[in-house]
């Protein structure tokens, strides 16, 4: 598959309102997905090939392994990583109270709606809930640190 074609397609998707484009021709398939804020390009090669999926030259995430190829070994697959961002401004707390255990830790399994942390603003404790299921792989903020709107709080590995 022509790399410049892939690049053009990625640019097209990122600049448009479209979230996902999948093109299949002559046995080759390419799917470009816009998952906020990173764009992930997956280029499953023909199922006969043992080759792992090609990596797209933008953003950090690596390409997803093709579902159709049984032998394709998943490369360190960061494209399934989801960033949980703060919807408000305030102070970040990992536990419900000063002496309590943290809501979640690295390795914790979470599902949609799980309370992950508290962001306190103007004396109001706002519980921040997860919008995905998965496992916490990274905690991006320290306890007691001020956070701004859209600041990344956790990285979640989605199944």
Q: Given the rule CB under 8 A, which residues bind another protein? A: 88-91, 121-122, 146-151
Q: Which is nearer to another protein, 66 or 90 (CB)?
A: 90
Q: Which is nearer to another protein, 77 or 126 (CB)?
A: 126
Q: Which is nearer to another protein, 73 or 122 (CB)?
A: 122
Partners of 31 in the beta sheet?
22, 42
In whole angstroms, the minimum distance from the beta carbon of 64 to another protein comes to: 27
Q: Which is nearer to another protein, 66 or 92 (CB)?
A: 92
- Neighbour tally for 7: CB within 10 Å: 14
In whole angstroms, the minimum distance from the beta carbon of 77 to another protein comes to: 28
In whole angstroms, the minimum distance from the beta carbon of 61 to another protein comes to: 21
- Separation of alpha carbons 42 and 57, rounded Å: 11
In whole angstroms, the minimum distance from the beta carbon of 114 to another protein comes to: 23
């Amino acid at each position: 598959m022509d790399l410049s074609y892939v690049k053009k397609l990625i640019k097209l998707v990122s600049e448009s309102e479209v979230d996902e484009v999948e093109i299949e021709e002559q046995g080759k398939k390419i799917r470009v997905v816009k998952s906020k804020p990173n764009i992930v390009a997956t280029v499953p090669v023909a199922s006969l090939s043992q080759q792992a999926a090609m990596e797209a030259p933008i953003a950090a995430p690596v390409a997803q392994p093709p579902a159709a190829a049984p032998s394709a070994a998943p490369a360190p697959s960061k494209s399934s990583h989801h960033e949980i961002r703060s919807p408000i401004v305030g102070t970040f707390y990992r536990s419900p109270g000063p002496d309590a255990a943290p809501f979640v830790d690295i390795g914790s399994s979470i599902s949609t709606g799980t309370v992950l942390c508290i962001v306190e603003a103007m004396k109001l404790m706002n519980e921040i809930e997860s919008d995905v299921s998965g496992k916490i792989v990274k905690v991006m903020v320290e306890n007691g640190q001020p956070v701004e709107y859209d600041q990344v709080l956790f990285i979640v590995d989605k199944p």
